[in-house]
Amino acid sequence: MRKIFALVCVAIALCTYTSCKSKNNDPKPGIETPAKSQLGTASTTDYIITLYADTPLLFTGYNRLYVKVQDATGAVSSTANVSIHPLMEMSTMSHSTPYEQVSYDAATGLYSGAAVFIMPTADDDAWKMEVTVNGQKVAIPVTVGTFPTKVISISMGSDNTTYIVSLLRPATWKVGMNDVEFTVHKITDMMNFPALDNLTIEMTPEMPSMGHGSPNNISPVSTGKGHYKGKVNYTMTGDWRLHLKVSDASGTVLLQDAFIDILF
């Protein structure tokens, strides 16, 4: 009987060992919304306006922006007419950058939008975000740093138009299949950067240090408002380059290789 008991004990131990596969289940990073960082605040006669982003520092490329509007008593307003406008003032001229106008998001109580900064803040060249609430305008200075890898591609297309392709950086990348999203804008003039839909993007990832790619990628497709969504496959960590070949609806290749660099 003792033997049987011993055997059963071992069997239980073995089963326990084999079923403890949840041991390495770290919490999935990047699923919960990260806390927002305040970039600056300003007041008008009737409102306190605060600007937030996902990270304390803005970077070249696509950045989500959030505006909180409070009245003088501190109550959060959800019905105000809010708009943003990014602007860089250089010594001789000023220009804007592609952006997505804010709209109220009930879930967070913030007006959310985005800006695709095409250049970083430099000595004399400063970015500011103009925010207008019910006709009352403030300007909140913001600093834009250069992202360590090339997450935005600004290049001349075959039709002599300048196109801006920008990556929506996820909170984290993981090995294997990842959702990937880009925006495409073009430069009409210093103040106008319309979003472009219905282009065809052919995405080819590559590891430049080894020269290999990865299988099963899904090239991003147009989802409206200049956004394109697809799936990218990272077979290992390290440096990856996403080659993007962009064509218009008629099949004309606009950009041969607007590449984006990734490191994780």
Closest by alpha carbon to 155, among 262, 256, 261? 256
In terms of C-beta distances under 8 Å and separation of at least 24 residues, what long-range contacts does 223-226 make, across chains too?
Answer: 224/197, 225/100, 225/195, 225/197, 226/98, 226/183, 226/184, 226/185, 226/194, 226/195, 226/196, 226/197
Indicate which of other proteins, Cu ion, none lies near residue 18 (CB less than 5 to 8 Å, by partner kind). Answer: other proteins
141-180: which residues touch other proteins (CB under 8 A)? 174-177
The contact mask relative to Cu ion for 203-242 (x = CB under 5 A, - = no) is: ----x--x-------------------------x------
DSSP 24-50: G-PPPTT-SPPPPEEEEEEE-SSEEEE
CB-nearer residue toward Cu ion: 108 or 216: 216
**Residue 61 beta carbon to other proteins: minimum distance, rounded to whole angstroms:** 19
Looking only at the bridges linking them, the beta strands covering 200-206 and 176-186 are: unpaired
Indicate which of other proteins, Cu ion, none lies near residue 21 (CB less than 5 to 8 Å, by partner kind). Answer: other proteins
Binding status of residue 238 toward other proteins by CB under 8 A: yes
Binding status of residue 214 toward other proteins by CB under 8 A: yes
Binding-site member from 83, 233, 247, 256 for other proteins (CB under 8 A): 233
**Residue 235 beta carbon to Cu ion: minimum distance, rounded to whole angstroms:** 7
The residues near 202 (Cβ < 8 Å, ≥ 6 apart) are 219, 244, 245, 246, 247
Q: Centre a 10 Å sphere on the Cβ of residue 196 and count the other Cβ atoms it contains.
A: 21
CB-nearer residue toward other proteins: 6 or 57: 6
Question: What is the spatial distance between Cα 117 and Cα 53, in angstroms, rounded to a whole number?
Answer: 13
Question: What is the spatial distance between Cα 184 and Cα 98, in angstroms, rounded to a whole number?
Answer: 9
- 8-state DSSP, 207: B
Question: What is the spatial distance between Cα 43 and Cα 51, in angstroms, rounded to a whole number?
Answer: 11
Question: How many residues form the binding site for other proteins (CB under 8 A)?
Answer: 36
13-32: which residues touch other proteins (CB under 8 A)? 14, 17-18, 21, 23-26, 28
Closest by alpha carbon to 96, among 84, 81, 105, 106? 84
**Residue 151 beta carbon to other proteins: minimum distance, rounded to whole angstroms:** 16
**Residue 214 beta carbon to Cu ion: minimum distance, rounded to whole angstroms:** 9
CB-nearer residue toward other proteins: 188 or 209: 209
Indicate which of Cu ion, other proteins, none lies near residue 208 (CB less than 5 to 8 Å, by partner kind). Answer: other proteins
- Residues in contact with other proteins by CB under 8 A are 3, 6-7, 10-11, 14, 17-18, 21, 23-26, 28, 174-177, 207-216, 233-239, 263
- Residues in contact with Cu ion by CB under 5 A are 207, 210, 236
